[in-house]
Amino acid sequence: MEKLTELNSDLTTYPIAETFHSIQGEGAWTGVSAFFIRLAGCNVGCPWCDQKESWTDKTFPKYSSEMLSTKAQQANASIVVITGGEPLMYNLFPLTDKLRKLGMKIHLETSGSYPFSGNFNWVTFSPKPFKAPHESIYVKASELKIIIADQKDFEWAEKQKSKTNSQSINFLQPEWNSRTSSSLIYKYICKHPEWRMSLQTHKFLGVR
């Protein structure tokens, strides 16, 4: 049985938009050395998405769990972040099993719009109003991160927080191109201390 799991794990491939070593720019792990694996493919359709080139999975090469694990190991970062695109469009058990066998700490960044899969040390749940989250994500979230583009997003944020497990850390993050969302969040958090602000520090630094 063990052999079969290993075989499946090695044969599973994923469309990969890019892999890179940087620091985690957002949320509770901001500033930590991180190796990013960006899976291609997303049909959530956020109008302000900064990864639109990763929406298709057709034009990107496929990598096996084995190849991705080797790249991650060579990077020697503190954490491996599986992001997208929308990573939960794929079965993430083979990849996370492989990374875990190498002793890596694995984080997920997801909109939660597909059934949960994989074995993670940390789950960043960033739901989007453009495609409803799957119910399986709410117990899994380690942090909830809501992108605020305008005032109406606070209502969405509260609705998502009410469904998410109580251990989750709650972040509001300004939409990068919005001129007003930072000050809206600032004022909101002063009145709602259960929320924290997350900033895209990598963009301020001019790195990925």
Name the site residues for ligand SF4 (rule: CB under 6 A): 42, 44-46, 49, 51, 84-86, 111, 128
Two tokens at 13?
């491939």
Shortest distance, position 66 Cβ to ligand SF4, whole Å = 25
Place of tokens 């005032």: 151
Question: Residues at the annotated binding site?
Answer: 23-25, 38, 42, 46, 48-50, 83, 85, 126-128
Instruction: Give CA–CA dist 138/166, Å, rounded.
Output: 10
What distance in Å separates the CA atoms of residue 88 and residue 108, rounded to the nearest whole number? 9
Min separation Cβ 147 and ligand SF4, Å: 8
Q: For residues 25 and 84, which CB has a smaller minimum distance to ligand SF4 in the complex? A: 84
15 or 98: CB nearest ligand SF4: 15
Q: Which is nearer to ligand SF4, 187 or 208 (CB)?
A: 208
Residue 104 or 147 with smaller CB distance to ligand SF4: 147
**Smallest distance, ligand SF4 to C-beta of residue 65, A:** 21
Phi, psi of 47 (to 5 degrees): -65, -30
Please report how close the Cβ of residue 183 comes to ligand SF4 at its closest, in angstroms: 22
| 84/94 with CB nearer ligand SF4 | 84
- Supply the DSSP symbol for 163: H
Which DSSP helix (H) or strand (E) runs through 15?
strand 13-23
Q: How far is CA 51 from CA 84, 145, 191, in A?
A: 8, 17, 32
Q: How far apart are CA 41 and CA 38, in angstroms?
A: 10
Binding residues for S-adenosyl-L-methionine: 48-50, 85, 126-128
Q: How far apart are CA 161 and CA 63, in angstroms?
A: 35
CB of 46 to ligand SF4, least distance (A): 3
- Where is the binding site for substrate, in residues? 23-25, 38, 83
Gap between the Cα atoms of 134 and 184, Å rounded: 28
Amino acid letter at 31? G
